Amino acid sequence: MMKFEKDDAGTRTVDIGRGCVFGGPRLVIIAGPCTVEDRVQTLEIAAAVKEAGASMLRGGAYKPRTSPYAFQGLHEEGLAILAEAREQTGLPVVTEVLESADLTKVSAVADMLQIGSRNMHNSVLLQAAGRTGKPVFLKRGMSARIEEFLLAAEYVLETGNKNIVMCERGIRTFETATRFTLDLSAIPLLKQRTWIPIAVDPSHGTGMTSLVPPMACAAAVCGADAVMVEVHGHPDKALCDGDQSETPEMFYRMIKELQNITRAIGRTV
Ligand code: PEP
Ligand code: MN
C-alpha cells in the first residue's frame, strides 16, 4: 500500500503553525506576489492580504523562469524580505526551492517549502525537501498525470515527512485561450485517492486575472482545502505574471465571495 493512499480517517490535517491548518474546516487562502520584487512592494502586499483575510503569504525569491533573460528573483535578499513580512504580519510563508543546494537557506525562512511544477519530477529534490522535515507544498507538473503527481508526493512521504499539500495548478492541453487548463476534476479525484490536503492555484491555472475569482470559488465547491493566488499592488507593472495577478481590492472582493460559498458548504475562510 502506498503511503499517500486514503484510509478511513479521510483527509489528514497539516498544521503549519501561526493558525494555518490545511485539511480542516477552514479553507486556507495563500496570497502574495508571484515574485518578491523589493521590500516595500512585498511588505505592502503582505499587509493588504493579511487585512483581507489570507492565512499564508506566498512569494518567490528563487524563480523558475521560462526565459533565462527574465528576472530570476532576489534570492537571499528576497528571503530576508519574506522573513520581515512574516514578522510584520504574523503570516506564515511558503516559497519555492529550486534546487537541493538552496534547501538550508530557504528552510531557514520558509514555514513551507514549495516545489514548483517544473520540479515535480525531480525525485532527488523531493527527497531532500522531505528530509528537512519542513512542510512541503507540491505543485502538479504541467504535463503530469494524477498517478505521477501522487507518486511524486510519495517521494516526500517515503522520507517520513507527512506534512505535505498537493496543488493543482493547470495542465497543458490543446487550448490556448487560457495559459493552462485548470483541472478541477483533479480535486475530487485526488481526494478520493489520498488523505493529503489539496490546494488549487487558479492564477497559474488560467493566466487571466478575470478568471481567478470564479475558479477559486469553483475549487472551494469541488472540495479544495486551500487556494493559492497571486496579488500585486500594480499588476501592470509586475515583473512577473501581472496578467494573472489580482489587485488587493479584487482579492478582498474574492474573499467575500469565498466566505459566502464556504458558508453554503459547511466550511469557513
Ligand atoms: C509559483 O507558484 O510561483 C509558480 C512558479 O508556479 P508553478 O510552479 O505552478 O508554475
Ligand atoms: Mn507566478
Say how far apart CA 154 and CA 130 lie, in whole Å. 10
What pLDDT is stored for residue 90 in this prediction?
A: 98
What pLDDT is stored for residue 14 in this prediction?
A: 98
For residue 63, give the ligand 1 atom closest to its CA.
5
Direct distance between the N- and C-terminal alpha carbons of the chain, in angstroms, rounded to an integer: 34
How many A from CA of 54 to the centre of ligand 1? 18
How many A from CA of 144 to the centre of ligand 1? 14
pLDDT grade for 9, boundaries at 50, 70 and 90: confident
Angle at 141 between CA 173 and CA 119, to 5 degrees: 145
Say how far apart CA 90 and CA 55 lie, in whole Å. 9
For residue 60, give the ligand 1 atom closest to its CA.
3
pLDDT single digits (tens) 207-257: 999 999 999 999 999 999 999 999 999 999 999 999 999 999 999 999 999
Mean pLDDT rounded to a whole number for the chain: 98
C-beta separation of 191 from 5 below 8 A: no
What pLDDT is stored for residue 257 in this prediction?
A: 98
What pLDDT is stored for residue 8 in this prediction?
A: 82
- Closest C-alpha to 193, from 158, 149, 142: 149
pLDDT grade for 111, boundaries at 50, 70 and 90: very high
Which grid coordinates belong to 93?
510563508
Which grid coordinates belong to 103?
534547501
For residue 64, give the ligand 1 atom closest to its CA.
5
- Closest C-alpha to 228, from 108, 54, 19: 54
Test site for ligand 1: of 125, 201, 230, 245, most ligand atoms within 8 A of the Cβ: 201
Give residues (CB < 6 A) around ligand 1.
34, 60, 64, 96, 116-117, 139, 169, 201, 204
What pLDDT is stored for residue 7 in this prediction?
A: 86
How many A from CA of 122 to the centre of ligand 1? 15
Test site for ligand 1: of 117, 142, 229, 244, most ligand atoms within 8 A of the Cβ: 117
- Closest C-alpha to 33, from 199, 244, 178: 244
Q: Phi and psi for 208 in degrees, rounded to 5?
A: -130, 120
Question: Which of 4-8, 26-30, 64-68, 83-87 is predicted least confidently?
Answer: 4-8
Say how far apart CA 183 and CA 204 lie, in whole Å. 12
pLDDT single digits (tens) 169-190: 999 999 999 999 999 999 999 9
pLDDT grade for 46, boundaries at 50, 70 and 90: very high
- Closest C-alpha to 113, from 146, 159, 69, 172: 159
Give the residue carrying C-alpha cell 511588505: 43
Say how far apart CA 164 and CA 114 lie, in whole Å. 10
What pLDDT is stored for residue 122 in this prediction?
A: 98
Say how far apart CA 146 and CA 140 lie, in whole Å. 8
